[in-house]
Structure 1
Amino acid sequence: MSGIDDIEVIAPHFKQRLSGVTSTIIQLIPRQIEAGVKIAALGPGLPHDLPRMQYRQLAGLWKLLANGRPRIWHARRNVEMLAGIALRDVLGMKLKLIFTSASQRHHTRYTKWLISRMDHVIATSARGGSYLDVPHTVVMHGIDTERFHPAPEGQADAGLVIGCAGRVRHQKGTDLFIDALIALLPKYPEWRGVSVGRVTPEHQGFADDLKERIEAAGLSNRLVLADENHDMPAWYQQLALYVAPSRTEGFGLTPLEAMASGVPAIAGDVGAYPELIVNGVTGAVVPTGDLDAYKAAIEPYLADPSLARAHGANALAHVHEKFAIANEVQALSNVYETVWSNGR
């Protein structure tokens, strides 16, 4: 726990379950601290070793920092924006409010009102920014290339594996991944597929149906739905190809995680995916929800594994050049300085 006098930026996290926001905070905060940002998280569902403040320390927010600046409350969800507004506008605490929007849809009137109360707004992609009605800065997510990287030289080869990660549900397109491989794997017996992700009770029937399809196709030994994996860097290293078949997405970090691991990525035209993947160079972007398009994009890699290796090498170089997490850290620091300099 950090002393409140040593905290300049607060990253609230008001959700217990793992999400893309959780992954972002876990990756960013240690790197921001290394870069000199005095930041701490607030809330549940985060690793115990991540620097954080306690709720009782909120009382310290009535005071300015020693340098006369207000602290920054950097929200990423509606509930976190609302909390910041209450602390600043109702309780009179000395805060500047920033919101990072990953959404790619028209906001509700309520969300628009919350956003209108922010001192600065960040969009995680140019497409996402097009849905905002306020001035904003585009800061795309970066990836921790020390955490996500190709398998070390000489590590045991897992063979030709196609992977998909994410909660098992229609929104995440798990069925598109499964149905594409049910159609393709019989033609390419050296390949196998695995989808990892949590199945929540309300989506158990969806998952059971997918397992029945796999069994009916006689592919139970080559295509599996596995539980959530807690060592994702090592999991990506076992893949030859990654597929992100989401039907809707905010930003979507998994293609970056795969590409940072030297694995080409195929994804739908949602979220920031078209801004992450270089079509035909580091993978492919296909029309959202189009099963035939997924099959057509996947099959060339199955037919020619050397193509997967070549595009994986391209993907690795692309991530290091364009999406290193240091770029995101610097861009966020620039936003913080702008907020402190300009006021509301």
Structure 2
Amino acid sequence: MEMSDLRVALFSGNYNYVRDGANQALNRLVDFLLRQGACVRVYSPKVANPAFPPTGDLVGLPNLPVPGRGEYRFSLGFSAEAKADLERFAPNILHIASPDVAGHRALTWARKRGLPVLTSVHTRFETYPRYYNLGFMEPWVEAILRRFYRRCDALVAPSESMVQVLREQGMGSDISIWSRGVDRTIFDPSRRDPEWRRAHGIADGDVAVGFLGRLVMEKGLDVFGATLEELKRRGVAHKVLVVGEGPARAFFEQTVPDAVFTGFQGGADLGRAVASMDLLLNPSITETFGNVTLEAMASGIPVVAARATGSTSLVVHGITGMLVEPGDIPAFADAVAAYCADPSLRSTHGAAGETRSRDYSWDAINATVARTYLRLIAQRQPAPSAQHAQAAH
């Protein structure tokens, strides 16, 4: 079987209605598959005004807003129309990107028909409750995820560190890496713009500590704010540049009141904003890869990140950035202060990160997923001897 023979039904909890690293990776994958001649059909909640146009054919699923996080939608499974569409499409493999209601229903649908199922892990769902004072739910969420993932034929995760976590949690045995790439036409050191910095009140001699990503609590906004407060207490001169938008913006504005908030940035504007930082502070522990970390590295700036899944596979401690134990405010402040005090250290580590980022090519990365599809389909097909025996009967 060739890639052009693939008929992939992709199920996502958020394909394009809110922009994030996970759904942008899925859209890039679909683009790659379509360019190889494969057929792809995407099933996901839809909204009237999505963040960006979908790549490929998108079929809407019934959904409701997530309580307390209305920008996200919670799928309610299949509608009769979506199920009929899936039957007509007749996929030879299912790819499930979210363990939601539709994902569970799609998995059951595939197992009844003997179709292989690949699931991709995009975030540490089991860690989310702790950011909403519901930490007691983590074992329960992990158990639900384990039951779901074990029913799939294989899993892919964005980093070796995340693969190791999934194995330790007993989520499955066939787990491989679907890494992430970076768009070098957007993220590059040459995008740095001193005039843009000055327009935002950041002088040439200022050190801009950057935050990049959606403004949601699970990105470690509290740790970021506490680290900046510790820097102020120590008298470490710095500026704060926040690039992104989200429902926790009001909280973050109160936490870092002196920060420059650019709001959402896209395309060349995003590349300019990231390259115009002096370092990225990424305290999140919910990432499975850390797209923002790779984007900062490609932009030639060092990264201070939590020693957690994703970041540990990207940041080489003491070479491309600094890794800090999650939640260790004094240690985060130490790392940021070291960069604030030493321009040559920022330059050396930023250049090393930019060199490392060149290893991440989207087409090469997405080809590994397509090859996994083909392997799973081949594993479901009977061996030649069995086919001959059936023919003889």
Residue in structure 2 matched with residue 9 of structure 1 by the alignment: 8
The one-letter code of the counterpart of 2:18 is: R
Residue in structure 1 matched with residue 84 of structure 2 by the alignment: 59
Residue in structure 2 matched with residue 339 of structure 1 by the alignment: 376
* 8 Å Cα contact 2:11-2:103 kept in structure 1: no
Find the aligned partners of 1:297 and 1:46 in 2 and give their Cα distance: 35
* 8 Å Cα contact 2:192-2:273 kept in structure 1: no
CA shift, 1:248, in A, is 3.4
CA shift, 1:174, in A, is 1.7
CA shift, 1:58, in A, is 5.2
| CA spacing shift, 1:192–1:31, aligned 2, 3 Å | farther
The residue matched to 2:156 in structure 1 has which SS?
A: strand
Alignment RMSD (CA, Å): 3.1
109, 120, 123: which one aligns with 1:87:
109
59, 75, 80: which one aligns with 2:96:
75
1:281 aligns with 2:319: yes
Find the aligned partners of 2:40 and 2:276 in 1 and give their Cα distance: 34
* 8 Å Cα contact 1:240-1:309 kept in structure 2: no
Q: State the TM-score, normalized to the length of structure 1.
A: 0.80
Find the aligned partners of 1:49 and 1:36 in 2 and give their Cα distance: 18
Q: State the TM-score, normalized to the length of structure 2.
A: 0.71
Residue in structure 1 matched with residue 260 of structure 2 by the alignment: 224
Residue in structure 1 matched with residue 287 of structure 2 by the alignment: 249
Find the aligned partners of 1:272 and 1:54 in 2 and give their Cα distance: 31
143, 155, 169: which one aligns with 1:121:
155
- Structure 2 residues without counterparts, runs of 5 or longer: 61-80, 127-138, 198-203, 382-393
Q: How does 1:304-343 map to 2 (within 5 A)?
A: 304-321=342-359, 323-343=360-380
- Bigger shift: 263-272 or 28-37? 28-37
Percent sequence identity is 20
* 8 Å Cα contact 2:96-2:120 kept in structure 1: yes
1:178 aligns with 2:203: no
CA shift, 1:289, in A, is 0.7
Q: How many residues end up aligned between the 2 structures? A: 321
129, 138, 142: which one aligns with 1:108:
142
CA shift, 1:333, in A, is 1.6
The one-letter code of the counterpart of 2:29 is: L
Find the aligned partners of 1:6 and 1:337 in 2 and give their Cα distance: 9
1:110-132 alpha-carbon deviations (Å, 9 max, x no partner)? 32222232122223333333223
- Bigger shift: 241-250 or 268-277? 241-250
CA shift, 1:271, in A, is 2.3
* 8 Å Cα contact 2:7-2:38 kept in structure 1: yes
The one-letter code of the counterpart of 2:98 is: R
CA shift, 1:36, in A, is 4.9
CA shift, 1:282, in A, is 0.7
| CA spacing shift, 1:127–1:178, aligned 2, 3 Å | same
* 8 Å Cα contact 1:164-1:242 kept in structure 2: yes
Find the aligned partners of 1:242 and 1:177 in 2 and give their Cα distance: 11
